[in-house]
Amino acid sequence: MMNGRLDAIDRAIINGLQGSFPLSDEPYREAAEQLGIDEKTLLEHLEQLLNNGVLNRFGPMFNAEALGGAVTLAAMVVPTERFDEVAQTVNAHREVAHNYAREHDLNMWFVIASDARSDIARVIAAIEAETGLEVFDFPKEREFFIGFRVEA
């Protein structure tokens, strides 16, 4: 990444590794070979993309429920002037992922994933106690796979 712009290697990494990453003893080496670069270059570019906020995470997506855990979508009505403070409080919980703002009365949305449904209730109660704000719990009724990809 040069001058805040994606270069050809960045684009190849983003486009080439979505939904396809080797499961092996040396996955980064194999992924780099598939992209026509060396492992060191791949790791350097991934680190830059993460540090610069182009990527907010790089890793597998697990189905918590298929692994015996639980997951829910949660939302809150957060006063604008408290948004950053509340986001920091919510994100401090290791069970919370994918926290994002929305243009809606329910303006903060996040996913809670844990080992058990009772843990989700505990996290929600803790967030409500810490923020003084209600957390709305939207447990999954059905799952749809949409195969989301982003081309850089």
Determine the straight-line distance between the first and last CA of the chain, rounded to whole angstroms. 13
DSSP helix/strand/coil, 31: helix
The two tokens of residue 83 are 């948004």
pLDDT tens profile 18-64: 877 888 999 999 999 999 999 999 999 999 998 888 887 777 766 66
> Can you give the pTM of this predicted structure?
0.63
Run of H or E residues at 42 = helix 39-51
Q: How far is CA 123 from CA 2, 81, 100, 111, in A?
A: 41, 23, 17, 11
pLDDT tens profile 76-87: 999 999 999 999
- Give the start-to-end residue ranges of the domains of the chain: 8-51, 70-139
Class of CATH domain 70-139: alpha beta
Residue with tokens 């080439």: 16
Confidence class for position 99, pLDDT limits 50, 70, 90: confident
- Per the prediction, the chain carries an average pLDDT of 87
